[in-house]
A and B are shown apart, each in its own frame.
Chain A
Amino acid sequence: MNLNVVLAIFRKDLISSVKSKNILIILLTPVFLSILFNTTVSLTDNIIVPIAVYDGGSSADFVEYLRSTDSYDIIITGSAGKSEELLYTEKVAAIVLVPEGFSADLENGFTPFLNITVNPYDEKSVVFLQTYKDVIMGFAGQDYPVHISLNTLPAGLQSRFNIPIWVMFTVIFVGMMVLPNTLTTEKEKKTLDAILVSPASEKDVIYGKSFFGLFLTIFISLVIIFINGGFVGNFLTVLFFIVLGSTAFTGLGLLIASYTDNYSSASLLSTVCMAPLILPALLADLSREIGYISYLVPSTYMFNGIKGAMLNNSGISDLYPELGVLVIFNIAVYVLTAHVLKKKSYI
């Protein structure tokens, strides 16, 4: 390896990265998405849920009570069918069908039926499901059986729980996109030919570009941590997992770059490979099955390592299983990549 040449390639790619729209888009995507997510979450404090209410008769006071809570945007319909139509066309997140005599039955100490249907694919239905029982108890004049003092984490701390997700996304996205982009662009525009008639060898080009990809992946991950206020927990261990993850996913990017000859096929292949690496780790808590699948995906171990170090202050010794899997994954990726590069006579 010719260090001068490797550094020259690294330096040139760094200058190009701020001037190339493609690379800039790759680098700014995680930053932009993270800021967008935080902003969106902060704007969801006062959600008003659109619901349709059909009063079967004589329960106008209940409908008025619902309206007075300010949690719901109420559309009163003339029939149950009309309410359902509004739900099916996603005009409302839930419908409440009030049977005839509902208010009177409550007043007389009976337990009347109330027919509620929600659209679970409408995020606002979650807010409705969290509030409707309290509202009905309030209308019936009943008190909650206990006094609850409900507190949430301070706003600054809440975003910390999202940081491991964003870091994992950044490491995978930048690691797998930058290297294929820069290497295939050099091939496509034939600038690689000009480099290879100089003292630079194929090996030097691969080292220079790999260091560049690795540097950018780590750098953008740190930017993500910074803008989310996440320099917390055992930061050295966090950094260690970021570096391990970055080397692995940059290696995968190199593998993709060596398989493809142009930018568009490299981008397509990277995107296709990214989804199964990100989603299982993200959705592991949703079901036992996804949890099992997530254990097959190396990104889960990077995610768990970063989460453990950041939120539980875990050190490397507490995270040996995650560390071991990531090291094995790194070795596997680089053995495979070296094999492909050798086969293609790059090294």
Chain B
Amino acid sequence: MFQCLGITGDILDKAIVVENLSKKYGDFEAVKNISFNIQKGTIFGLLGPNGAGKSTTIKVLTCQSPPTSGNAYVGGFNVLADSAEIKRKIGVVFESQNLYEELSVYENLNFFRRLYSSPKDKISEVLQSVGMETHQKDKIKTLSKGMKQKIMIARALINDPDILFLDEPGSGLDPHSAREIRQMILDLKSRGKTILITTHNLEEADFLCDYLAIIHKGSIIAIDTPGNLKKKYGEDVLRIEAVTGDIYESPLNTKASSDMFKKLSDDNQIFLVHSKEATIEDVFIKLTGERLTDES
């Protein structure tokens, strides 16, 4: 039963609806009038550097912090009016690994299971889904960072949520663990979960997300599928490596690229020719004029 008046079909159909949302901390506007919708069963990425407003957006959507203005609906419920209902429907994986280090894996999950009044067998079920069922008795502090991240995901699944919020899930993990976590996220999507993921990892964003919003200084500056973003804002490039070792690049299928090719060919300078597809990094640079690094 939806309690908010004036609810539209969109809000009910979509997993998350954000309308003109702003969040201020004192005079600082962390999120500026953003709007987006997330389809049920998809992975939606918020891509941007640290401080862009990604985590603030998650905080508002998970009812940790009220918006300054605008509306947001999660699972059809308003974040201001229906926080109790929203909290039952969501799972959150935080950026920091905020587990009880001195407790065991089982004790950590059992505590959260009790908060949600989930059945006891849910613990082994979620541990199985992240491949950690043999670590029930291990203390959290004895686990590696990758293992802890799996437990964080298991914890977020303890109430069988429809919508998952993953704040920088691959941050600080070794390549093997990061790959495992990405696969897990795809598995969750295949189980019908809607996932909102924040990341500043371009590869992760491109690989995982069905839709991507590029957020910069609190505003969403582009939003689409990764493929469309690359088509719209990126350029495929003709790349020629000369025998001298010099590299020449020019937008593909343009007069400039054919002129460049002809000139180098006439001079017998061509060593290697190939085309380079546009990347999300190109899109980000084009839109923001900045490079997105791990440090940012």
In the complex, what residues of A have CB within 8 A of residue B100's CB? 12, 16, 191
- Residues of chain A with a CB closer than 8 A to B5's CB: none
Asked if A15 and B87 make an inter-chain contact with CB atoms under 8 angstroms apart, the answer reads no
Cross-chain contact A5 with B115 (CB below 8 angstroms): yes
Question: Contact at A196–B64, with CB atoms within 8 Å?
Answer: yes
Quick check: is B62 within 8 A (CB to CB) of the other chain? Answer: yes
A4-B117, A199-B87, A200-B115 given; A190·B103 CB < 8 A? no
B90 engages A197 (CB within 8 Å): yes
Q: How far is the CA of A11 from the CA of B108 in the complex (A)?
A: 12
With A and B bound together, what is the CA distance between A45 and B140 in angstroms? 51
Whether B94 contacts A190 by the Cβ 8 Å rule is yes
State the Cβ distance, A182 to closest chain B Cβ, in Å: 11
What separation, in Å, do the CA atoms of A19 and B140 have in the docked complex? 12
Cα A171 to Cα B43 in complex, Å, equals: 53
Interface mask (A4-34 → B, CB under 8 Å = 1, otherwise 0): 1101100110011001100000000000000
Q: How far is the CA of A15 from the CA of B117 in the complex (A)?
A: 19
Any chain B CB within 8 A of the CB of A282? no
Q: Are A190 and B102 in contact (CB under 8 A)?
A: no
Question: Is the pair A8, B111 in contact by a Cβ cutoff of 8 Å?
Answer: yes
Cβ–Cβ contact A190 & B96, under 8 A: yes
Contact A197 B114 (CB under 8 A): no
Answer whether residue A198 sits at the interface, using C-beta atoms and an 8 A cutoff: yes
Whether A194 lies near B114 (C-beta < 8 A) is no
Task: Name, among A7, A12, A194, the residue most crowded by chain B CB atoms within 10 Å (CB to CB).
Answer: A194
Instruction: Quote the shortest CB–CB distance from B97 to chain A (angstroms).
Output: 9
* B116 CB-CB contact with A under 8 Å: yes
Assess whether A342 is interfacial by the CB under 8 Å rule: no
- Say whether, besides A16-B102, A19-B102, A198-B87, A193 and B94 are in contact (CB < 8 Å): yes
Knowing A193-B64, A194-B94, A194-B155, the reply to whether A199 touches B102 (Cβ < 8 A) is no
Cβ contacts B131-174/A at 8 Å (1 or 0 each): 00000000000000000000000010001000000000000000
**Which residues of A54-100 have CB atoms within 8 Å of chain B's CB atoms?**
none
Q: Report chain A residues within 8 Å CB of B272.
A: none
Give residues in A with beta carbon < 8 Å to B: 4-5, 7-8, 11-12, 15-16, 19-20, 189-191, 193-200
Question: Given A11-B114, A198-B87, 10 other A-B contacts at CB below 8 A?
Answer: A12-B103, A16-B100, A19-B103, A191-B98, A193-B64, A197-B87, A197-B92, A198-B115, A199-B87, A199-B88
List 5 A-B pairs, Cβ < 8 Å: A191-B99, A197-B62, A197-B64, A199-B116, A200-B115
